[in-house]
Amino acid sequence: MSNILHYFDFLKPKPNTAIHPKYKTLIKKVISIKGRQLYQFKDLADMPHNRFIKATRFQTEFEMRVDADIVRTYNKNVKDLFVQILESEDLKKTRRSASKGLTLVETLDMNLDLLLSLDASYRLVSCAWFWEDENLDDYDFEIGDEKISLFKQEGIESFFLSKPMKDFLPQMNISAQDLAAFSQCEKEVKKLLNKQLKKEK
């Protein structure tokens, strides 16, 4: 029986990896991390459709400096507060809800005003760069998280100031001090965002 199952496994289509003949000429080596080689498409438009869609989403989040899930969570919280305002006949409760809503919007604005989101950068690159044996037909968040963990182990400076990474960053002179400041600022805003969301639960 196991031989029959093994036979059917053999018939399953193999995932499209970097060593697949149709991709081999379209990719290039990018960087080696912890002894493992990462690749990317020479032209990102050559990515398989589903992966390209994810890359486009991450590119938007990178440009806006905010995760789409955070925006959705915030929208839901602000909507809930508006419902409370509309349903409340108590002026104090109405003012309290309006104040909370305003704080939520202002905190989200702070996130959008960040000059650069390192977290969004990590996510975008975890999609654009891939292992030799990674399935390229789509983006796997678990594998992406593993890559991001390795990126972070490299240290902010050595990772973000590397030549391959600079290709993704805005055209500005970023120093090690700037990166440290961006990182600290993003952590503080995230802490504030999480604090506000916990208050609304």
pLDDT tens digits for range 125-149: 999 999 998 999 999 999 999 999 9
Could you read off the pLDDT of 162-181 as tens digits, one per residue? 889 888 876 667 888 888 88
187 lies in some domain:
no
Residue 68: inside a domain: no
Length of the chain: 201
Is a pLDDT exceeding 80 seen at residue 20? no
Which tokens is 75 given?
């929208």
Give a yes or no: residue 6 inside a domain.
Answer: yes
CA–CA separation, 48 and 51 (whole Å): 6
- Asked if pLDDT for residue 18 goes beyond 80, the answer is no
| Structure tokens that stand for 40 in this block | 């990317």
- As a whole number, mean pLDDT of residues 46-61 equals 92
Extract the tokens encoding 4: 């029959």
24 pLDDT band (50/70/90 cuts)? Answer: confident
Q: How far apart are CA 28 and CA 53, in angstroms?
A: 21
Return the pLDDT at 149: 95
Confidence of residue 200 (pLDDT cuts 50, 70, 90): low
pLDDT in tens, 97-118: 888 888 888 888 887 788 788 8
Tell me how many domains the chain contains: 1
**Most trustworthy range by pLDDT among 19-33, 144-158, 183-197:** 144-158
183 belongs to a structural domain: no
Is residue 103 one of the residues assigned to a domain? no
Nearest 5°: phi and psi at 130?
A: -145, 155
What's the pLDDT at 113? 81
Domain containing 48 equals 2-61+116-170
Alpha-carbon gap, residue 81 to 99, rounded angstroms = 10
pLDDT by residue (tens digit) across 185-195?
Answer: 888 888 887 77
Percentage of residues in the chain having pLDDT higher than 90: 29
* Inside any domain, residue 152: yes
In a domain, 54, yes or no: yes
Confidence of residue 201 (pLDDT cuts 50, 70, 90): low
43 lies in some domain: yes
